[in-house]
Amino acid sequence: MGRAALTSTLLALTLLACGNPPVGEPPTGAIEEDDSAPAAVTLDGRGTFFLLREDAQGIHVRRANYDEIECPDGARAIECHVSTMRAPAIAAERVPETLFRGQLVSEGGEGVFVASEVWSPDVLLGKVPRGTFFRVEKADLLCAKAPCPSMRQAKLNSKAPAQYLQTLSIDDDLGTKERREAAIGEAHASAILVVGENNPRREGLSLEVKQYYRRVDAPATADLSEP
C-alpha cells in the first residue's frame, strides 16, 4: 500500500515548523472520561464522537478512542445498544464507517443516541482502521519567521493539548489526488477528522493518515428508531 505526502503551496500537506513548536509522543493510555456529555461536546469541537454498528439486534454505538464507555443504563461496555437514534436526515441512508458527534441519553428507560453531526469517509475500506482519532484543523499561528506550521491535531474525546503538525501524510489509496487535496483544503477552512498514527521526527510531529472523514451538512433531523 503506497503512501504519499501530497504537497502544494496552497494546501501545504507537508507542514513546516515555526521555531520550536511542541513536539513529541501523543498522549497514550486510557483517556480520562468526561461523564458530562454536554461539557465534552463544547471541548474544542473534538467531543463527543461515536462509531455506529448495526446488526439484527439493532443499533450499537461506541466512543472513538475509548475501550469502554458508560451506557445509559449505567453499565460499562465496549459499546452500547440504543433503541432510538435521532440524527441529521442524511444519516437515514447511513454509510458504513461513518463518525457521529452526539450524546447518549436515557428516555423512558431506553437508550437513545442523539447525533448532531455526521462525518463520512470519501473511500470505504470495509472496516475502521486501527489508530487514534484526531480532529485536524488550521493552526492559526502568528509566526515571526518561516518556516511555520499551518495545521494542528487534537485527539477526539480527550482533553489532551493540541499538537502542531510538521507533516500530514495521507495514504494513496484514500481517494483521488483531487479528493485528498479537497479534504486538506477543508481542514484549512474548517476541520477534518482522521484516524492514524503519529511519528515523532527530529523536524517535528508527523501524522500518518489511514482514513479521513469530512463533515456532511444536513440541518434536518430524523428519528431512526428500531423497527
pLDDT band with cut points at 50, 70 and 90 for residue 227: very low
Q: Does residue 223 belong to any structural domain of this protein? A: no
Looking at the structure, tell me whether residues 111 and 134 fall in a common domain.
no
Q: Is the pLDDT of residue 130 over 50?
A: yes
Residue 57 structural domain: 37-121
Looking at the structure, tell me whether residues 51 and 105 fall in a common domain.
yes
Backbone angles phi, psi at 93, to 5 degrees: -110, 80
Q: What gap in Å lies between CA 155 and CA 131, rounded to an integer?
A: 11
Q: Does residue 97 belong to any structural domain of this protein? A: yes
Name the residue with higher pLDDT: 195 or 220.
Answer: 195
Looking at the structure, tell me whether residues 64 and 173 fall in a common domain.
no
Q: Does residue 186 belong to any structural domain of this protein? A: yes
Looking at the structure, tell me whether residues 203 and 91 fall in a common domain.
no
Q: Does residue 220 belong to any structural domain of this protein? A: no
Q: Which of 121, 137, 157 is the last residue of a domain?
A: 121
Name the residue with higher pLDDT: 33 or 45.
Answer: 45
Q: Determine what percent of the chain is predicted with pLDDT higher than 70.
A: 73
Looking at the structure, tell me whether residues 140 and 78 fall in a common domain.
no
Q: Does residue 75 belong to any structural domain of this protein? A: yes
Name the residue with higher pLDDT: 56 or 203.
Answer: 56
Q: Is the pLDDT of residue 62 over 90?
A: yes
Q: Does residue 211 belong to any structural domain of this protein? A: yes
pLDDT tens figures, 11-44: 334 433 333 333 333 333 222 333 333 343 344 6
Looking at the structure, tell me whether residues 25 and 131 fall in a common domain.
yes
pLDDT of residue 92: 65
> In terms of pTM, does the model score above 0.85?
no
Domain count, the chain: 2
Highest mean pLDDT among 35-49, 92-106, 138-152: 92-106
Looking at the structure, tell me whether residues 13 and 78 fall in a common domain.
no
Looking at the structure, tell me whether residues 165 and 101 fall in a common domain.
no
Q: Does residue 109 belong to any structural domain of this protein? A: yes
Q: What gap in Å lies between CA 220 and CA 89, rounded to an integer?
A: 5
Lowest mean pLDDT among 8-22, 117-131, 157-171: 8-22
Looking at the structure, tell me whether residues 211 and 132 fall in a common domain.
yes
pLDDT of residue 141: 78
